[in-house]
A and B are shown apart, each in its own frame.
Chain A
Amino acid sequence: MPDRSRYVPGVVLLSAVGLGCALLIVIGEILGSPERRVYWQMGGAALGTIFIVYGLLLLLLRKMGMIGPRRAER
């Protein structure tokens, strides 16, 4: 049986990156232009990174067996 705990650092790291990107967007919204015409590239990249991070998180959680089909159905 694979050691599930080896994925935990990855989950923690990805969660931190996702949280960082979310904070970046929030801070950008507070400090940036109200018309959202400046720093949109940084915001867009952060949004895209959140998507990728969430996708990878789902993958890791699936590999850990925490989501997805039960063992008997695999």
Chain B
Amino acid sequence: MYRRYLTALQRWTLGLDVWINRIYPSDLNPLYYTGGLTNLFLFVLVLSGIFIFFYYVPSLNGAHASVAYLTEQVPYGGLIRGIHRYAADAFIVAALLHLFRNWFTDRYLFARDSPWISGMFLLLFGGFVGVTGYILVWDERALVVFSEFVRLMRSIPLVGDRFAWVLQAGPGISDETLPRMLLLHVGPASALYVLLWWHYVRLRHPKVWPPATWVLTSLGIVTVLAAVVPAVSGTPAQPGLQPRTMWLDVFYLLPLWLAGYLPPLLVVAGIGLLFIAGFAIPYVNREDPQAMGVRHAGVAQVVDGNCTGCELCYYDCPYNAIVMVPSPYPGATRAAANRKLLAVVIDSRCVECGICIGACPFEALELPAFMEGDLQRRVAEAVRA
């Protein structure tokens, strides 16, 4: 059932690609760059965030005023704030598109589980950074978001009160709260780049950046939005006072909206289950490679004497499983006699696909189950028979 739906979604996704490729040249199809666009928006967020950081005062009395000063008094401050706000939404949209696209097109299975798991962490951290960003403005909405967030945390059995204590930096809202929020905003945001390293480490040619046309168009859309619909603060937060009705951003604050209608523990459990399901996707309904007719080939082995250090296998391996190291001694063949580098296979990364074998013109790589000599012998025997 699950596989049938996934196949239908895959067909639909690929159909959409074909349709977009009729409008755009295929190398400019924006759906091929959802990951790069997410990275672009993260870069915009970091740059605009650094600018905002210089003016932000993390205290109950100073936070709202500092944001107002940035928006109204600092040259282009309102524009930078708006860019930061809309780039955050665009980041989540692009990340979700990237997630669904890779899910529907089966790009999370086997050796690709590592980018998938790191991607789920990126989404989790990105969402958390977005929520803390809302709180930092410290207007009425921020207070509602913060109170609801604490309420959701408190509903978790056993550890909920401790989580709430960590969020508030104490038993309730105090002057320590906003510095804690700032730490919880900037800290996980920095961790996103560590997670990105993990995301890319198994990929040889990741599309980390979209083409110039999409960089400019995306930046333009965010900038126009920031100018035409500027990000503004509400009235300053006053703990203890009942806030007015307000609009909540569905990208980041949907759980808080749900918490208005459902028991908080149910909302927390729902989010938790959603992420657990997300993390489990690469391991659910995974087909056995042998059942799919894939034979166990063994990790690729470098035939030491034949390697010329040409790096062709290094560039062709899609899983970053081959590294080039300085050659400690010359090769055995004429072509390898003056080599400077030697290919080394990282066993834990090799998926036994054999691409490196095809890439190497010097017969310097072998799959143990398909050694060239054995294959020749088997072919000769088959011909004789």
Chain A: residues with CB nearer than 8 A to chain B?
Answer: 35-37, 40-45, 47-56, 58-59, 62-63, 68-69, 74
Q: Give A2 Cβ to nearest chain B Cβ, in Å.
A: 11
Whether the Cβ atoms of B79 and A44 lie closer than 8 Å is: yes
Within 8 A of A (CB), among B106-133: none
Main secondary structure of the interface of A (DSSP, over half): helix
Q: Which of B185-230 contact A (CB under 8 A)?
A: 211-228, 230
B225 contacts across to A, CB distance below 8 A: 48
Contacting residue for A55 out of B25, B72, B215, CB 8 A:
B215
Q: Which residues of B contact A54 (CB under 8 A)?
A: 216, 220
Interface residues of B in 75-99 (CB under 8 A from A): 75-76, 78-79, 82
* B28, B73, B216: most-surrounded residue (chain A CB, <10 A): B216
Known: A43-B79, A69-B27; 6 extra A-B contacts, CB below 8 A, are A37-B73, A40-B227, A41-B228, A44-B79, A44-B226, A55-B212
Which residues of the partner chain B approach A37 to less than 8 Å between Cβ atoms? Answer: 72-73, 75
Task: Knowing A36-B76, A54-B216, A62-B213 are in contact, say whether A48-B27 is a contact too (CB < 8 A).
Answer: no
Residues in chain B within 8 A of chain A (CB atoms): 24-25, 27-28, 72-73, 75-76, 78-79, 82, 211-228, 230
Bound state CA distance, A69 and B230, in angstroms? 39
B43 to chain A, nearest CB (A): 15
Q: Is the CB of B73 within 8 A of A48?
A: no
Task: State A68–B211 Cα separation when bound (angstroms).
Answer: 10
Question: Are A52 and B221 in touch, CB under 8 angstroms?
Answer: yes
Nearest CB of B to A12, in Å = 18
A57 to B27, CA, bound (A): 16
- B227/A44 in contact, CB under 8 A: yes
In the complex, the answer to whether B212 meets A58 with C-beta atoms within 8 Å is yes
CB of B223 within 8 A of CB of A51, answer yes
From known contacts A51-B219, A62-B25, infer whether A40 and B78 are also in contact, taking CB-CB under 8 Å: yes
Which residues from chain B contact A53 at a C-beta distance below 8 Å?
220
Chain B residue numbers with a CB within 8 Å of A51 are 216-217, 219-220, 223
Set of chain B residues within 8 Å of A43, measured between Cβ atoms: 79, 227
A47–B72 Cα distance when bound, in Å, is 19
A47 to B228, CA, bound (A): 12
Nearest B residue to A47 via CB reads: B223
- Establish whether residues B213 and A52, one from each chain, have CB atoms under 8 Å apart when the complex forms: no
Cβ contacts under 8 Å, A59 to chain B? 24, 28, 213
Knowing A45-B228, A48-B222, the reply to whether A68 touches B216 (Cβ < 8 A) is no
Q: Given A55-B213, A68-B25, is A42 in contact with B227 using a C-beta cutoff of 8 Å?
A: yes
Selected from A35, A44, A45, A68, the residue in CB contact (under 8 A) with B27 is A68
Contact assessment for A55 and B227 in the assembled complex, using a CB-CB cutoff below 8 Å? no
Residues of A within 8 A of B230 (CB): 41
Cα–Cα, bound, A45→B352 (Å):
52
Q: For residue B212, which residues in chain A have a CB less than 8 angstroms away from its CB?
A: 55, 58
A40 touches B228 (CB 8 A): no
Chain A residue at smallest Cβ distance from B216: A55
Partner of A56 from the list B75, B217, B224 (CB cut-off 8 Å) is B217
Question: B75 contacts which chain A residues (CB < 8 A)?
Answer: 35-37, 40
Residues of B within 8 A of A47 (CB): 223, 227
Chain A residue nearest to B73 (CB atoms) is A37
Q: Is the CB of B216 within 8 A of A58?
A: yes
Of B28, B211, B223, which contacts A48 at CB under 8 A?
B223
Name the B residues within 8 Å of A48 (CB-CB): 219-227
| A15 to B: closest C-beta gap in Å | 14
Which A residues are CB-close (under 8 A) to B218? 55
Q: Which residue in chain A gives the minimum CB-CB distance to B214? A: A55
Contact call A41/B227, Cβ cutoff below 8 A: yes
Q: How far is the CB of B220 from chain A (nearest CB, A)?
A: 3
Across the interface, do B76 and A40 meet the contact criterion of CB distance under 8 Å? yes
Q: How far is the CA of A56 from the CA of B24 in the complex (A)?
A: 11
List chain A residues, Cβ under 8 A from B228: 41, 45
